[in-house]
Amino acid sequence: MSDNTSRMRTIFRSKTTKALDRIEDPRDTLDDSYDQQVKLLHEVRRAVAEVATAKKRIELQGQEMGGRYQRLGVQARDALTQGHEDLARAALERRALLEGEVAKLQAQYTSLEKQASQLQERERRLTDQIAAFRVEKETIKATYTASAAQVRANEAVAGLSANIDDIGTSLDRARDRVAQMQARAAATDELLSSGVLKDLTAAPDADIERQLAAITAQAEIDRQLQSMKDGAGSGGAKGSGGRVDDGANGWLGIGQGPAT
């Protein structure tokens, strides 16, 4: 009874293995794994393009704000020269508000630059990984095909049963599955590590911080206005009270140093 049961189990395992072989060709498994990695690479490249587009949009907006920032400084000086201190103050107040908006753009621009750099590095590493996997995939497929052909030829010549290749085929399938899972795990890890997380929770006592910031901004406007008066009294204003460079990226310097 025991011998019959053992033989039945052996036959069942043999038939099950052959059915799995027909359903799951290890070469097809490798090809599917490679296709999945290529799809992941396309997703990373699409993310790189989207980040670059957002970065360019912020850059253009910053340049526009930088031009307006300069014009408000010129208007403040002209108004003060013509004796319209109220207009000069209004121009400086608008420029102070604009400086806060530019600061937010600068933070977004810096964050996108960092994210773009990370995504480009992930793209490069994933591209190299896929290229290496492709070479190994084709090598394994060729080896498997040659080995399977050799086994069939040897069995045909020796008149042996095809069941003799069950152990070797199972080992090949296990190795292929390990290679596939390692490649997928590595690719998934690369994508998961590319995200940039930011804490959007408001800080405690934010209202007090805003009031203090408003007081500081008003004091800075008074200081700039007095500096313009002093400059006008000494023969003409020589500074814009925060003038930035005329270059395309001059807006990045707004608010980064004391006004002169």
The pLDDT tens digits of the residues spanning 168-209 come to 676 677 788 878 877 776 666 555 454 433 333 445 565 577
The pTM of the full predicted model, rounded to 2 decimals, is: 0.51
> What residue has token string 């009031």?
211
CA separation for the pair 96, 119 (Å, rounded):
35
Q: How many CB atoms lie within 10 A of CB 219?
A: 10
| Res 179: pLDDT | 80
CA separation for the pair 26, 139 (Å, rounded):
13
Q: Using alpha carbons only, how large is the chain's radius of gyration in Å?
A: 35
Average pLDDT on 219-228 reads: 87
Q: How many CB atoms lie within 10 A of CB 203?
A: 7
Listed ranges 23-27, 150-154, 223-227; the one with the highest mean pLDDT: 223-227
Q: How many CB atoms lie within 10 A of CB 60?
A: 11
Domain boundaries, the chain: 29-189+210-236
| Res 252: pLDDT | 78
| Res 61: pLDDT | 93
